[in-house]
Amino acid sequence: MKPINFVVVGFGGMGSYHARGLIGENQFVTTYGTYDSDEKRQAAAKEEGFKVYESFEAVLADDNVEAILVATPNDSHKQLVIDALRAGKHVVCEKPVMMSVADFDEVVNVAEEAGKVFMTHQNRRWDSDFLIIRDLYKSEEIGSLFQIESRVHGANGIPGDWRHLKAQGGGMLLDWGVHLLDQLLFMVDSPIKSVSADLSFVLGDDADDGFMSYIIFENGVRAHIEVGTSNFIKLPRWYVKGYQGTGVINDWDLSGELVLQRETDVKHEPTPIQAGQGLTKTMAPPSEEMTECRELPSVTAEFDSFYDNFYQVVREGAEAVVKNPEVRDCLVLIETIFKAAETGETIKMN
């Protein structure tokens, strides 16, 4: 087994995480070197003991380098990926892989011409919270899911510099949005019927600092996908409804529960409660006899980890876990969300 020699391009927050951990600690791939256009980041990589290239050309000219990991600001992905593929390197690119569907198609063509592997790092397909919801979707433990709400809420605004700028591919739809939408499409096995959306600009940047989108699938599933960066009180990470129950995952700590409707022949009428200035039976809690609480299932991915899979794809021609047509579908959805937000219209997909 010969590990794949990677050069990490962009030794910033995410690139250094790949260099040290994701690539650095995986038996199938090695951090052979790093390159960053900023001298301070080159010095930081040197200090951590990594081999540092002084130019991207030098990386591409080195025959020992088999693959490149691109972890630079979003607007720079396209040219770096194309140059690397044309130089005969395999490429893993960070999300959002490209800033448009047209750019993505161009790059996939270059990869095909070069005969090299080109994969997008959609790492949140391996997140435990997502795998639990995907398992509920498949197992129908709370009945078939018809409503999926997936949110991430923070209160720190947009971090860093380039993420504030639309021209550099900033904004939360391209940042967290691409993760949540990729997860949704990797779970719901149905074409999309319609999309409506709204972006938020609380910080006053030209790039969105959050968004809400409502996506209806042809199989009847409704999804609310939301990212917020000025939420001092968070809503749960996941809230899902099935025909036999409701599930909630509060956070990445995986706290949460399932509440199911108990199968019983005896009907227990709810007791009316005082609600504000009135009484309600409709909104009263369900009687204990009618419901059952369960712990969230514990789930692991049934597919290989990202870099294990990348190795199998490169060395043995295995199928990629993150497939280019899926990544393209996600970019189409992102472009549709931008359009729905801009026009204020619900966009029909077919």
Q: Which residues are at the interface with ligand NAD (CB under 6 A)?
A: 9-15, 35-38, 41, 71-74, 76, 94-95, 121, 123, 160, 175
Contact between 261 and 273 under an 8 Å Cβ cutoff? The reply is: no
C-alpha to C-alpha distance for 337 and 334, rounded to whole angstroms: 5
C-beta closer to ligand NAD: residue 31 or 72: 72
Give me the least distance between CB of 295 and ligand NAD, in Å please: 28
Give me the least distance between CB of 35 and ligand NAD, in Å please: 6
C-beta closer to ligand NAD: residue 15 or 228: 15
C-beta closer to ligand NAD: residue 57 or 218: 57
Give me the least distance between CB of 316 and ligand NAD, in Å please: 25
Give me the least distance between CB of 26 and ligand NAD, in Å please: 15
Instruction: Select the residue whose beta carbon is closest to ligand NAD and give its number.
Output: 12
C-beta closer to ligand NAD: residue 73 or 143: 73
Give me the least distance between CB of 328 and ligand NAD, in Å please: 17
C-beta closer to ligand NAD: residue 74 or 336: 74
Q: How many Cα atoms sit within 13 Å of 27 on the Cβ side? A: 1
C-beta closer to ligand NAD: residue 121 or 153: 121
Give me the least distance between CB of 97 and ligand NAD, in Å please: 8
